[in-house]
Amino acid sequence: MAHGAQKLFGWFGGYGLEGTGQWMASIGIEPGYLMALLAGSGEFLGGLALLIGLLTRPAALVTAFTMIVAILTVHIGNGLFMSNNGYEFGLALLAASVSLLISGGGNLSADKSVHQAIH
């Protein structure tokens, strides 16, 4: 969520949509503003949904896709380790997202409460 908040709102030392969009365009991810909006929304809203366990599988799919794009477009050329802006953290988030995509939200999730209320 924090990385999404950086992109969307400029929180935590981020550049906000405008700055992130300009940066994305500068590295060839076009249109930069739209891509910043999509990436930031995927990270922030997807993370929020995963945190509360609401729409867990769709949110996990969105965050997994976001991490794949981040790894392939930004981090892969820097090697594995985070110390060189590598893909280590993105890979860990991808693994967690795939795990939640497979398993779902679990007994304490909002998904479970919604399911019980409907049935």
- Residue 58 is predicted with a pLDDT of 98
- From the list 102, 27, 51, the residue with the least C-alpha distance to 36 is 27
Whole-prediction pTM value?
0.90
Is the Cα dihedral 33, 35, 40, 42 positive or negative? positive
Q: What is the pLDDT of residues 23-80, one digit of tens each?
A: 999 999 999 999 999 999 999 999 999 999 999 999 999 999 999 999 999 999 999 9
Q: Which residue has the tokens 């940066």?
A: 23
Cβ atoms within 10 Å of 3's Cβ, excluding its own: 20
- Residue 1 is predicted with a pLDDT of 96
Range(s) of the domain holding residue 31:
1-118
Give me the number of domains the chain comprises. 1
Burial code (b: 16+ CB inside 10 Å, e: under 16) for 78-87 equals eeeeeeeebb
Task: List Cβ neighbours of 64 (8 Å cut-off, separation of 6 or more).
Answer: 94, 97, 98, 101
Q: What is the pLDDT of the chain when averaged over all its residues?
A: 97
pLDDT above 90 as % of the chain: 99
Confidence of residue 91 (pLDDT cuts 50, 70, 90): very high
Six-digit token string for 110: 């909002």
The tally of CA atoms less than 13 A away on the side-chain side of residue 45 is 12
